[in-house]
Structure 1
Amino acid sequence: MTTDQNDDSREQGVELGPLADELEDEEYPIDLETLLERYGDYELGLGDDTTTLQTVLESQDGVTYESADDVRQSVIGMVSDEAIGRKNYSDRGGSTEAEEDTEESM
């Protein structure tokens, strides 16, 4: 499975691609084992890299997801720094706390 460049499936640096729609159509609750059997090979975009749902969630044990949002939040919480892009950078305007500390010390 490949990642899709659909902005609607990107959240906090993680591109779910076609998996986003699959999760929405799934019946919940669903346990981790079943989730990974069905969707473990789906690729997730993490900045300039990709990984599979299996790789991201396999370290969790005995988890049951109540909704697609539960799965998304779990993925976001488990991905490495690769998903966030440039550290201490925000395209939302203003400055980050790290930038403010640097400006104050000058």
Structure 2
Amino acid sequence: MSDNWPSVEDRAESGELGDFEEPLEEQDYPLAEDELVSEYGEYEVESGDGTQSIEEVFSSVDEKTYNSADEARDDILNKLNRQE
């Protein structure tokens, strides 16, 4: 990860999840990672390499469950950071 890349918190505050931010907030939790991909896989988010779908971000789906939008958002942003 580049030292110039903003932190997860900064990226979340800047709304880099684009159109995906609202459905993520409105979703009922807990939510399994595979359910998140199934439901929202077509949404696109910005990464250091350009735009990627949620399905691409979660190309190797873990058996993870999110208890809040904040947990899901942080994991998405962390996955985007690792892809650089």
Is TM-score (shorter-chain normalized) higher than 0.5?
A: yes
- Which portions of structure 1, spanning 4 or more consecutive aligned residues, are displaced by more than 6 angstroms? none
Structure-1 separation of matches of 2:49 and 2:79: 17
Equivalent residue, structure 1, for 2:20: 19
1:55 Cα deviation from its structure 2 partner: 1.1
Contact 1:39 1:53 in 2 (8 A): yes
Runs (5+) with no aligned partner, structure 2: 1-9
Greater CA radius of gyration, 1 or 2? 1
Of structures 1 and 2, the one with the larger relative CO (CA 8 A, separation 6+) is 2
Structure-2 separation of matches of 1:74 and 1:60: 12
Cα 1:48–1:55 shift into 2, 3 Å: closer
Q: Equivalences for 1:75-86 in 2 at 5 Å? A: 75-79=76-80, 80-81=83-84
Equivalent residue, structure 1, for 2:7: none
1:43 Cα deviation from its structure 2 partner: 0.4
RMSD: 2.2
The number of residue pairs the alignment matches comes to 72
Runs (5+) with no aligned partner, structure 1: 1-9, 82-106
Cα 1:48–1:61 shift into 2, 3 Å: closer
TM-score, structure 1 length as denominator? 0.59
TM-score, structure 2 length as denominator? 0.73
Choose between structure 1 and 2: higher helix proportion: 2
1:16-64 CA-to-partner distances (Å, cap 9, x unmatched) read 1111010100000001121111101100112461001111123231110
Instruction: Name the % identity.
Output: 33
